[in-house]
Amino acid sequence: MKSLWKDEEAKQYTDDLGLRVYTSRLLGKDPSLVLHGGGNTSVKITQQNILGEDEALLYVKGSGWDLETIDRPGFSPVKLNHLIRLAELEALSDPQMVNELRSNMTIASAPTPSVEAILHATLPFKYVDHTHADAIVTITNNAKGKSRIEEIYGDEVVIIDYIMPGFDLARLCAEVFKQQAHAKTLGMVLLNHGIFSFADDAKESYERMIYLVDKAEQYLQKNNAWDVIPHDDKDFNLDKQQRAELRKKISSLAGQPMILHARKSAKFNAFARRDDLVKTCQQGPATPDHVIRTKRLPMLGLDTEKYVRDYTAYFSTYQQNARDEKTMLDPAPRLVIDKENGVISVEKTVKDANIVADIYDHTIDVILRAEALGGYQALPGQDIFDMEYWDLEQAKLKKTGSAPEFTGEIALVSGGASGIGLASVDALLAAGAAVVALDLNPAVIDLRKHPAYLGIECDVSDRRQMRQAIEQTVTAFGGLDMLVLNAGIFPAGKRVNEIDDDLWRNVMSINLDANLTLLRECYILLKHAPNGGRVAIIGSKNVPAPGPGAAAYSASKAALTQLARVTALEWGKDGIRVNVLHPDAVFDTGIWTPEVLEARAKHYALSVDAYKTKNVLGVELKSSDVAALVVAICGAGFSKTTAAQIPIDGGNDRVI
């Protein structure tokens, strides 16, 4: 491990807090030191208060901030002397501690200080850095962990036996530090948890962390416990029905639809195929901090009933020793490891499922290296339980406000790269769904930077490509809840006597046949949608009110509408709703160039504006209006509606 400090970069930060921001980000850049909100840092600064008096403050990382991206407002200023005096109390409950931290901040709007704030305050150095370094938890999750740490560091560090974070840990660290620290102490190792470094200078404190962790990594290398992570490029075959059934079961345990994300990873492939998983992955997380993301154990195999039995037994065993009454959390696994399916992470959002996968990626390193060092040995169940059911940890997961309507659900939109398709993609993402956009246009791949967006270049009239796209969807997210059939073509106007067979067949193949194939291929997935499958079909005003010159288009959309009606009849027993939208005169789509628009307006002897609003309500229709109806029709308000045909045209006297 190398220091990332660069004098050139550091120069931009001229004050103490600025340098704290800089070195915190350096720590955050290395996921083998801290992962997703893990770790915390602080700096002690004396500032004048509003009365003109000097006041010593601890600027400590606030909850909700990641070290990698932290900035000045991410550090909460807390009165230092008060914190030091708190550490001398005999006891302090969690609610009392949080109250003391929050009510002794000098900026009322600052985030809640880290639960390790008191610990930071008691260490008599200006800068304090804390990480959950992989190498340290690897060595300490081991039968001889403590003696190995002594062997590596001699008297360079103070060692603290495992104890849950919070007030008791802060008090213990303060005591042990007072008794054991000396002029050459560089840090403090917390067994099964992580490591602290400190100094009066930002660079020195940061580089002590790097020095100490590097020593641990070198120790692993010397003991042939470093290059022991196998990779296997052979991916697993996907059984999409099995995956959708698994998602439905897990969602029902979680009480809401969940994303099942199978990351493409050679490391995960190799790990899932091991023969010793019962021993290695069924012990517990690498550090208790991870339990709120991963639960104590991954589900090994696909037996959800057994997982629930085991989780319930774990809860009832360990809650007996809890300080207060606990309510069992949902018993749904957050990780599935199966010899035929690989490693699958489970969460309410794609972002969170990615976090679980990231954590497990590092957990595998820790487990396999600790195994090579003589045997992985996680903390006892009680310690993990206490952390999982610790109110302060649970608070980290509780976000304010209610979740968007389609949280945990998955939508697939054909023709998603432009017009109504793209507007539907955006509207569904905004409503909380994970969204797959299919389009012929390769730009679809990178069209949106959202973590829950998956763009796939796909010709929907090519069955092989479509099947692959559906497999990709199920691999990435676990199933399908909503299907938006939008892809279609509108050929140049031709009268019936002029239509050639090729044009007719081409329109039918894209506007009708491809949709039949999509429906058929997605049926088994929609059938297993936790809240019932939904199909939204983009029809056309031309179905109820056709015009001359568009026979192929109108006939294809009419046939599609009839297909939708029969589908609604057949799939109703599976809880799948099928509805059709008939938009008209949506001009912000690819086919309506300014020239075409002007020509059509001229044809009716109207201005472009008058032409655009030529409907009963006199309103202009946009793709986003149709997309809003797609979201509505897939939502709770239409939960008892199927086979409906809804116009979205501002009111058309021929349709009415």
> Do the beta carbons of residue 633 and residue 579 sit within 8 Å?
yes
Strand, coil or helix: 633:
helix
Choices 43-51, 148-156, 187-195, 485-493; region in contact with Zn ion by CB under 5 A: 187-195
Minimum distance, C-beta of residue 448 to Zn ion, in the bound complex (Å): 35
What residue type is 582 in one-letter code?
H
C-beta closer to Zn ion: residue 74 or 194: 194
C-beta closer to Zn ion: residue 169 or 368: 169
What's the CA gap between 594 and 592, in Å, rounded? 6
C-beta closer to Zn ion: residue 161 or 498: 161
Choices 178-186, 189-197, 533-541, 584-592; region in contact with Zn ion by CB under 5 A: 189-197
In a 13 Å sphere around the CA of 492, the CA atoms on its Cβ side amount to 3
Six-digit token string for 295: 């639960």
Minimum distance, C-beta of residue 347 to Zn ion, in the bound complex (Å): 22
Chain-centre distance of CA 292, in angstroms?
A: 14
C-beta closer to Zn ion: residue 194 or 539: 194
C-beta closer to Zn ion: residue 39 or 539: 39
What's the CA gap between 49 and 303, in Å, rounded? 60
Minimum distance, C-beta of residue 475 to Zn ion, in the bound complex (Å): 34
C-beta closer to Zn ion: residue 152 or 190: 190
- Give the footprint of Zn ion on residues 569-598 (CB under 5 A): none
Strand partners, 142: 376
Minimum distance, C-beta of residue 197 to Zn ion, in the bound complex (Å): 13
> Do the beta carbons of residue 388 and residue 292 sit within 8 Å?
yes
Minimum distance, C-beta of residue 291 to Zn ion, in the bound complex (Å): 13
C-beta closer to Zn ion: residue 194 or 455: 194
Choices 186-194, 308-316, 410-418, 447-455; region in contact with Zn ion by CB under 5 A: 186-194
> Do the beta carbons of residue 186 and residue 156 sit within 8 Å?
yes
- Give the footprint of Zn ion on residues 375-434 (CB under 5 A): none
Provide φ and ψ at 33, rounded to 5°: -100, -50
> Do the beta carbons of residue 551 and residue 496 sit within 8 Å?
yes
C-beta closer to Zn ion: residue 194 or 421: 194
Strand order in the sheet with 40-48: 75-79, 54-61, 40-48, 127-131, 194-199, 187-190, 157-160
Minimum distance, C-beta of residue 149 to Zn ion, in the bound complex (Å): 16
Q: At what angle do helices 240-254 and 514-527 cross, to 10 degrees?
A: 40
- Give the footprint of Zn ion on residues 604-643 (CB under 5 A): none
Minimum distance, C-beta of residue 289 to Zn ion, in the bound complex (Å): 6
Minimum distance, C-beta of residue 397 to Zn ion, in the bound complex (Å): 17
- Residue 579: its H or E element: strand 577-583
What's the CA gap between 300 and 280, in Å, rounded? 11
C-beta closer to Zn ion: residue 28 or 194: 194
Provide φ and ψ at 218, rounded to 5°: -65, -35
- What is the x/- site pattern for Zn ion, positions 115-134, by CB under 5 A? --------------------
Minimum distance, C-beta of residue 638 to Zn ion, in the bound complex (Å): 47
Cβ atoms < 10 Å from Cβ of 103:
11
C-beta closer to Zn ion: residue 58 or 336: 58
What's the CA gap between 137 and 605, in Å, rounded? 77
- What is the x/- site pattern for Zn ion, positions 194-213, by CB under 5 A? x-------------------
Minimum distance, C-beta of residue 34 to Zn ion, in the bound complex (Å): 9
What's the CA gap between 62 and 151, in Å, rounded? 35
Choices 133-141, 191-199, 392-400, 516-524; region in contact with Zn ion by CB under 5 A: 191-199
C-beta closer to Zn ion: residue 194 or 285: 194
How many residues interact with Zn ion (rule CB under 5 A)? 1
Choices 147-155, 190-198, 440-448, 612-620; region in contact with Zn ion by CB under 5 A: 190-198
Minimum distance, C-beta of residue 315 to Zn ion, in the bound complex (Å): 24
C-beta closer to Zn ion: residue 13 or 162: 162
Provide φ and ψ at 461, rounded to 5°: -90, 0
Q: Give the CB-nearest residue to Zn ion.
A: 194
> Do the beta carbons of residue 93 and residue 13 sit within 8 Å?
no
Minimum distance, C-beta of residue 132 to Zn ion, in the bound complex (Å): 6
In a 13 Å sphere around the CA of 594, the CA atoms on its Cβ side amount to 0
- Give the footprint of Zn ion on residues 132-171 (CB under 5 A): none
- Give the footprint of Zn ion on residues 48-87 (CB under 5 A): none
> Do the beta carbons of residue 196 and residue 129 sit within 8 Å?
yes
Choices 193-201, 336-344, 515-523, 619-627; region in contact with Zn ion by CB under 5 A: 193-201
C-beta closer to Zn ion: residue 149 or 302: 149
> Do the beta carbons of residue 259 and residue 337 sit within 8 Å?
no
With b for 16 or more beta-carbon neighbours within 10 A and e for fewer, the 327-360 pattern comes to eeebbbbbbbbbeebbbbbbbbbbebbbbbbbbb
Minimum distance, C-beta of residue 196 to Zn ion, in the bound complex (Å): 9
- Give the footprint of Zn ion on residues 292-351 (CB under 5 A): none
What's the CA gap between 472 and 475, in Å, rounded? 5
Binding site for Zn ion (CB under 5 A): 194
